[in-house]
A and B are shown apart, each in its own frame.
Chain A
Amino acid sequence: MDCIITIDINTSAVKIAAYDLAGRLMAFRKGSFSILYPQADHSEQDPEQVFITVLFVLKDLVREQILPSNHNIISIVFSASMHSVLPIDSRGNPLGNAIIWADNRAKNEADFIKKSANANSIYENTGTPIHAMSPLAKIAWIKNIQPERFRKTSKFISIKEYIIYQFTNQYVIDYSMASATGLFNIKEKRWEQDSLDISELKTTQFSDYVSVFNADLKLKPGLAKSLQLPKNTKIIIGSTDGCLATLGSGVFGEGQATISISHTGAVRVAGKKVIKDKENRFFNYILDEETYISGGPTNNAGVVLEWFASSFRNHPSIVDFEDAVEDLFKEATLVKSGSNGLLFLPYLLGERAPIWNSNARGSYFGINIKHQPKHFLRATIEGIIFEIYSIGKILEMYRKIDKLYLTGKYASLPICAGIIADVFGKQVIVSDEAENVNKGAALLGMIDAGVFKNLEEAAKSITVKNVYEPVAENNDTYQKLFDIFQRLTNKLSEEFEMIEKLQ
């Protein structure tokens, strides 16, 4: 039986899944690597470790699960996190570690670019909000702070391009990944001159851009042999985790939006047109030639739950994060919706959408003498979802949203899904797919294999597992609280600045 292998390289792990041409998951394996934090505001990845982990996991999966059942691998489709920057020298050797999306070192460069005369046109043309996460700002940081490294750099690539280079000896970047760099014109599909000018870059310092369906790359023969892959295995370049999670959760048409809650969170919609937001709050990334994925990311999702679990709960022994968070959700059911009027602003890590303020900080508001630890717990969860809602609400100014599709390991927990339905007052759908990003990549492979005509048809193949209906009474409570949530966030912007200076 023919099968497609999908490789998703995210911030802390590589997930490899094989699907048959009917889209059924046949094998899955993951391998983790560490995020390195050499100093405050710095988050990095070791490119060699990522590469070795990909090889190790792929090799095990092929040898132990694919070959014994006589499946025939027809293609490999790639996906990865956005925004990473890896400078390489003329021999293709990494100059240091890759700087990943969570890295905040380029704050000043981002502010500087934001204040420049063509900031608005750069945002509009590239689709990427100007922020420390953006490779545009990161490369400017390298130029300013590490001129020697900048000078030695022959190309600025992402972790995904590095891995693809190891597989094929070619430097190529897909439209999705390029559109998340702040350096790529998403309308004309070419490198954006205004962005290049900021750090005096040339187009030759970047990979060649191609469609997400591009399958011209050839697997290195030596690697094919050691991985026991057929020599003619197609390498499909694929897209990014954000775009593919949206597709893989079945969101493509009007009225649909994806909510993702894992370490971070996001609300996304798909459409034929970009969203033009005057306040530059939303991203517009390219999925294919006709489709943009638009939306807003939040820093403060699962990571806040982890903070709560490790700071305020005593664990008898070493526990897994997932188990700890699941326990939190169970405990939260002991408190009614709205946490008896206790409200939480979740800005522990500053915030991206919708306020784009790195200095924002968290806060509990409305504490009275009857509030107990369990109320704080529920308020924490609700605060995270209010933040997601605040993104969704502004997105609704541009797009109709009737149904929400969940992805990410926490969003689809039943209690979380219920709260999301109640806060938004909308129907929430959890798909049958455990790994939406890999599934999205598989859909690209299936289109390439001729199973589907286009993305729309592919997205429709995703099946529903559970549907959560909103409870009107809870929605009413949440609407009142959310009003206060928004007022507080707006009012506190000066105080955020002040307190940040003391930290």
Chain B
Amino acid sequence: MNYFSLTKGKSEEISSWPHVFEFSKMKIQSVKADSFLMEENQGVTFMYVLDGKYYWTIENQTFTVFPNDLVVVFPGQLFGSLTGTFEVGTFVSLRLDVDFQDQSELRLGDWSNITESERRLISQIISQKDQSIIPNFKLFGELASKIESEIFANEVGYKTKINNLLDDIWICTARQMSKNENQGRIFPQTFHRLDQMLRENLSHPWTVEEMAATIGLGTTTFTEKVKAFSGFPPLNYLINLRISEAIRLLKNSDRSLTDIALDTGFYSSQHFSTTFKKLTGYTPGHFRKNN
């Protein structure tokens, strides 16, 4: 296995990706004092253990990290080892320049191809508290070694390929987190989380597949469960939330009908108007006048 430590400004190998602060694979053979002090984390750090057993602390919580576990540290969090050292073993560390101060707003930068609304969704999933560690996440190891070989092989298209792999890391991390979060849970709890996520992202063009994946279920099971629990197929439940929010905006704001339609996730004011009327008996304009 090759070991390396690439840092921005020092290593030519990663100069094509200014948003990568650090990418390294380290083998620790002996414990060195003050090699890993508690410090405020810059950017978002992914630490993935290949070998050994580590005790890492994020803010006030210490995690025991085993091989194939991934630790995700956000900007500004105190991160390090309470002993100030790295234990013997091997790990990959990837640190990205990402603005994530306002926990719900992950700002990746121009290099990323993740769409605006998917980015918001990903931010929400990974900003869930107490999700600093993702146990047994081998996929991250695979992605990291792909990045490694792209960096050192420099084949055609490698600059783009690495950015794509970085996007992949965000997406796969979010997916894994939502799966973990919901495993073994009782459905009402899961549903409650979905409900919150839908409310906070009403304008996102949700598909059933996406909703299902967000809470880690297959589409068929998801649809059945939602129907049985809420009485509505997933998309109808979403329409409930959209119309409810639209009513609130119609009553309490002067915003145009088109703005309200788009804000609440209808693709046109026509679509909004038809759906609204079907349910309430009034067009949005008429409804507003009556109030």
Contacts and interface: CB of A to CB of B under 8 A. Distances in A.
Interface of A: 13, 29-34, 46, 48-49, 51-53, 55-57, 59, 91-94, 220, 222-223, 225-227, 306, 309-310, 314-321, 324
B250 to A, nearest CB: 10
B223 to A, nearest CB: 13
Interface in B238-258: 240-241, 243-245, 247-248, 251-252
A155 to B, nearest CB: 15
Nearest to A310: B186
Contacts, number: 96
B186 A48 contact: no
Contact of B184 (A53, A226, A227, A315): A315
A314 B247 CA distance: 41
B190 interface: yes
A320 B247 CA distance: 32
Interface string B183-224: 111111111100110000000000000000000010000000
Given A52-B243, A57-B231, 5 more contacts: A55-B280, A220-B281, A306-B186, A309-B186, A318-B187
A67 to B, nearest CB: 16
Contact of A320 (B187, B248, B277): B187
A77 to B, nearest CB: 20
Contacts of A49: 240-241, 244
B225 interface: yes
B156 interface: no
B265 to A, nearest CB: 14
A16 B247 CA distance: 23
Given A32-B230, A93-B252, A52 B187 contact: no
B282 interface: yes
Interface residues of B, number: 37
A251 B278 CA distance: 41
A226 B240 contact: no
Contacts of B281: 220, 222-223, 225-227
B195 A48 contact: no
A34 B231 CA distance: 13
Contact of A31 (B190, B232, B243): B232
Per CB-CB distance, the 9 closest pairs between chain A and chain B, nearest first, are A226-B281, A48-B244, A31-B231, A32-B230, A49-B244, A34-B195, A222-B281, A48-B247, A93-B251
Contacts of B245: 48
Interface string B262-286: 0000000000000001111110000
Contact of A310 (B185, B196, B230, B231): B185
Contacts of A91: 251, 291
Given A55-B279, A314-B184, A316-B184, A31 B230 contact: yes
A318 B225 contact: yes
Nearest to B190: A318
A315 B231 contact: no
Nearest to A34: B195
Contacts of B190: 318
Contacts of A57: 231
Interface of B, secondary structure class, is helix
B236 interface: yes
A56 B229 CA distance: 15
Contacts of B93: none
A92 B248 CA distance: 12
B153 interface: no
A48 B248 contact: yes
A220 B189 CA distance: 37
Contacts of A223: 280-281
Given A56-B240, A321-B187, A226 B279 contact: yes
Interface of B: 182-192, 195-196, 217, 225, 228-232, 236, 240-241, 243-245, 247-248, 251-252, 277-282, 291
Contacts of B241: 49
A321 B251 CA distance: 37
Contacts of A315: 184-186
A31 B229 CA distance: 8
A32 B229 contact: yes
30 contacts: A30-B231, A32-B229, A32-B231, A34-B195, A48-B243, A48-B244, A48-B245, A51-B247, A52-B240, A57-B231, A91-B251, A91-B291, A92-B291, A93-B252, A93-B291, A94-B248, A222-B282, A225-B281, A226-B277, A226-B280, A227-B281, A306-B188, A315-B184, A315-B185, A315-B186, A318-B182, A318-B183, A318-B184, A318-B185, A319-B186
A51 B243 CA distance: 10
Nearest to A314: B184
A411 B182 CA distance: 29
Contacts of B229: 32, 320
Given A29-B231, A31-B231, A46 B244 contact: yes
A56 B279 contact: yes
Given A29-B231, A52-B244, A52-B247, A321 B186 contact: yes
A238 to B, nearest CB: 21
B151 to A, nearest CB: 39
A324 B184 CA distance: 11
Contacts of B278: 226
Contacts of B228: 320
Contacts of A310: 185-186, 189
A226 B128 CA distance: 42
Contacts of B188: 306, 321
A46 B232 CA distance: 17
Contacts of A306: 186, 188
Nearest to A35: B192
Nearest to B281: A226
Contacts of B191: 32, 34
A481 B196 CA distance: 43
B252 A13 contact: no
A222 B278 CA distance: 11
Contacts of B244: 46, 48-49, 51-52
Nearest to A37: B192
B279 A59 contact: yes
A59 B229 CA distance: 19
Nearest to B230: A32
Contacts of B232: 31-32, 56
B273 to A, nearest CB: 14
A46 B243 CA distance: 12
A216 to B, nearest CB: 22
